[in-house]
Amino acid sequence: MSGMVPLSNRRAGERHLACFPASLERPDGEQRTSIIRDLSASGALLLVRTTKIAIGDRVKLELYITDDPRTLRLVTASVVRVEELVPGDAGPWLRRVGVKFEAPLSVYAAEISTFQERARRLGLE
Structural domain includes residue 4: no
Cβ neighbors of 51 (< 8 A, separation 6 or more) are 94, 95
Question: Within 13 A of 1's CA, how many CA atoms are on the CB side?
Answer: 4
Structural domain includes residue 13: no
Structural domain includes residue 84: yes
Count of structural domains within the chain: 1
Structural domain includes residue 8: no
Domain that holds residue 41: 19-121
Question: Does the pLDDT of residue 16 top 80, yes or no?
Answer: no
Per-residue model confidence as pLDDT tens digits over 74-97: 899 999 999 998 877 767 888 999
Q: The pTM is what?
A: 0.74
- CATH classification at residue 47: 2.40.10.220
